[in-house]
C-alpha cells in the first residue's frame, strides 16, 4: 500500500536525494533505470460496487477471490516490462485448454506478492537482460517481500528509503493510477457492449481480467511514465521539463461512465467519478509484508474454506472461437482499417501478419498429425 505523501518529511529521503540517487544516475543511463511496484485490483468490480469495497482494507479472506495483484515495471524513458499478475487459483476453469496466457501468472494463497515469487521474477528478467547484454538497475520499495538476491549478473537491486514510496517511487507517482483508469475504462466499455447487444452484465473471469489488464498496460503512454520518473526526481538531471502527455484515461472513463449511467442509472451511483472508480482498491494489500502482526495471526487462524475450488466453480471455461467466427472477425478488422486515415496501412499489415500466423499454425498441426505415433515417441 502506498503511504500518504503528506506524511513523508524531507529528512526521510534526504540521503537518497543527496547521495544515493546522484550516484546511481552517474552510473546508469535512463534507459537502464527501472522501477517496479505492486498494486491490488478488484478485477470483477462493477461501478455500482465501488463505494462498498473502497473502505475495506482487503488483506485476503473473502475478497481474495475477486482481487489480483499486479506488478508494473518500466524504465525512465518509458519502456515497459511485461505485466506480472498473482492470483489465488492455480488452475481456474477459464484456463482450461489455454496454451498461452496474456501475461506471466502465478498463484499464491492470498493473491499477494511474496519473497519467493519476487525472486523468481527478478531472476527471470535478469536472464532477459543478460541475453540483451545490458546491465540495469531495478529500484523497488523496502519491504520483506523484496529480499536481497544474490548471484544476479546483469541486474542490480536498489531499495528505496522506508515509508517514502509515495514520493520517491515513480510507479506510485501516477503510473499505476493511470493503469487502473485504463483498466476500469475498458471494463465499463465491456458492460456497455453487452447492454447494446442485449446481453446480461459480463462476469469477469480471471483470463478476461488478464486480457484487460495487459491491454490497459499497453495503453499507458511513455510520456506518463517519463513524467512520473521526473516527478520522483530520478530523471530530473536530464529532463527539466515535463514531456507532453496526451494520455488522459480519466476523461475517457468519465465519458464512458456517463454513457453507462444514461443507459442504466442503477449501474452507476450518481456521485461516482472516474477518480473514485480507479482508486477503489488503493487500500488492497499487495504484498504479504504489509500486514501487522495481529493481521498475520488472524489470517493464519482463519479456517481453510477451500476457496480455490470455489474459484474453479465460479470461472467459466473459455470457449475457443470457431473458424467461421474467426474469419468474420478478421474481415471486420479489415473493414475497420479501410476507414483509418493515419493508421490504416499499419492495421492492414498487422492483420496480414495475424492471418499468416494462423495459417502457419494450421500447417504445423497438419504436419504433426501426419507423423506416425512411432516417430512422435
Nearest to 243 by CA among 223, 228, 225, 229: 223
| Cα(64)–Cα(203) distance, integer angstroms | 17
* 217, 259: one domain: yes
β 33-41/136-140 pair status: parallel
For CA atoms 263, 265, 269, 271, give the dihedral sign.
positive
Structural contact between residues 91 and 108, judged by C-beta atoms closer than 8 angstroms: no
- Is the same domain home to 60 and 161? yes
The whole domain housing 331 covers 323-376
Cβ(162)–Cβ(146) below 8 Å: no
Looking at 294, 314, 334, the residue that finishes a domain is: 314
Q: Are residues 305 and 164 in the same domain?
A: yes
> Do 138 and 266 fall within a single domain?
yes
Q: In total, how many domains does the chain have?
A: 2
Are 254 and 181 part of one and the same domain? yes
- Each residue's pLDDT tens digit in the chain (377 positions)? 344 444 556 666 677 877 888 888 889 999 999 999 999 999 988 887 765 555 555 544 455 568 899 999 999 999 999 999 999 998 899 999 999 999 999 999 889 899 999 999 999 999 999 999 999 999 999 988 999 999 999 999 999 988 777 788 999 999 999 999 999 999 999 999 999 999 988 889 999 999 999 999 999 999 999 999 999 888 765 444 455 566 788 899 899 999 999 999 999 988 889 988 888 887 777 887 655 555 555 555 555 444 444 454 456 788 888 889 899 999 999 999 999 988 999 999 999 999 999 888 888 888 777 666 655 55
Distance CA 6, CA 348 (A): 50
Same domain, 358 and 245: no
| Cα(209)–Cα(102) distance, integer angstroms | 10
Last residue of a domain, one of 290, 314, 338: 314
Domain boundary among 314, 334, 349: 314
Query: Are residues 327 and 200 part of one domain?
Result: no
Query: Which residue intervals of 220-322 are DSSP H helices?
Result: 222-231, 249-263, 274-278, 293-301, 307-314
Residue 310: the pLDDT is: 43
Are 250 and 166 within one domain? yes
The per-residue pLDDT for 105 is 97
Say yes or no: 330 and 209 in one domain: no
Q: How far apart are CA 6 and CA 164, in angstroms?
A: 10
The H-assigned helical ranges of 44-87 are 50-54
- Residue 116, C-beta contacts closer than 8 angstroms, at least 6 positions apart: none
Quick one: CA torsion of 314, 44, 121, 304, rounded to 10 degrees?
-50
> Quick check: 225 and 234 in contact, CB under 8 A?
no
Could you tell me if 32 and 124 lie in one domain? yes
- Same domain (yes/no): 277, 303: yes
Q: What is the reported pLDDT for 157? A: 96
Say what the pLDDT of residue 16 is.
Answer: 80
Three cell numbers at 33? 533505470
| Whether residues 308 and 333 fall in one domain | no
Amino acid at each position: 500500500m502506498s503511504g500518504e505523501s503528506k506524511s513523508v518529511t524531507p529528512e526521510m529521503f534526504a540521503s537518497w536525494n543527496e547521495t544515493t540517487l546522484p550516484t546511481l544516475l552517474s552510473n546508469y543511463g535512463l534507459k537502464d533505470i527501472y522501477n517496479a511496484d505492486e498494486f491490488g485490483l478488484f478485477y470483477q468490480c462493477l461501478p455500482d460496487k465501488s463505494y462498498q469495497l473502497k473502505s475495506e482494507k482487503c488483506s485476503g479472506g473473502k475478497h481474495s477471490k475477486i482481487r489480483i495483484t499486479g506488478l508494473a515495471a518500466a524504465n525512465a524513458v518509458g519502456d515497459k516490462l511485461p505485466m506480472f499478475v498473482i492470483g489465488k487459483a492455480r488452475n481456474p476453469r477459464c484456463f482450461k485448454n489455454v496454451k498461452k496466457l496474456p501475461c506471466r501468472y502465478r498463484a499464491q494463497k492470498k493473491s499477494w506478492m511474496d519473497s519467493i515469487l519476487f525472486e523468481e521474477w527478478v531472476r527471470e528478467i535478469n536472464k532477459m537482460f543478460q541475453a540483451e547484454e545490458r546491465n540495469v538497475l531495478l529500484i523497488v520499495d523496502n519491504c520483506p517481500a523484496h529480499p536481497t538476491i544474490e548471484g544476479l549478473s546483469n541486474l542490480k537491486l536498489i531499495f528505496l528509503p522506508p515509508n517514502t514510496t509515495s514520493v520517491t517511487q515513480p510507479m506510485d507517482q501516477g503510473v499505476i493510477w493511470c493503469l487502473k483508469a485504463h483498466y476500469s475504462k475498458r471494463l465499463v466499455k465491456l458492460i456497455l457492449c453487452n447492454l447494446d447487444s442485449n446481453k446480461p452484465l459480463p462476469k469477469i473471469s480471471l483470463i478476461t481480467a488478464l486480457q484487460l489488464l495487459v491491454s490497459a498496460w499497453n495503453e499507458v503512454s511513455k510520456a506518463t511514465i517519463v513524467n512520473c520518473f521526473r516527478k520522483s526526481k530520478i530523471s530530473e538531471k536530464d529532463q527539466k521539463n515535463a514531456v507532453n502527455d496526451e494520455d488522459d484515461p480519466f476523461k475517457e472513463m468519465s465519458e464512458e461512465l456517463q454513457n453507462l449511467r444514461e443507459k442504466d442509472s442503477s449501474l452507476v451511483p450518481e456521485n461516482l467519478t472516474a477518480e473514485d472508480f480507479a482508486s477503489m482498491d488503493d487500500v488492497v494489500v499487495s504484498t504479504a509484508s504489509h500486514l501487522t502482526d495481529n493481521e498475520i495471526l488472524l489470517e493464519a487462524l482463519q479456517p481453510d474454506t477451500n476457496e480455490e475450488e470455489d474459484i474453479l466453480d465460479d470461472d467459466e471455461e473459455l470457449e475457443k472461437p470457431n473458424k467461421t467466427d474467426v474469419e468474420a472477425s478478421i474481415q471486420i478488422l479489415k473493414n475497420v482499417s479501410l476507414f483509418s486515415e493515419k493508421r490504416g496501412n499499419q492495421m492492414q499489415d498487422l492483420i496480414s501478419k495475424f492471418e499468416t500466423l494462423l495459417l502457419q499454425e494450421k500447417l504445423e498441426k497438419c504436419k504433426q498429425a501426419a507423423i506416425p505415433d512411432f516417430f512422435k515417441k
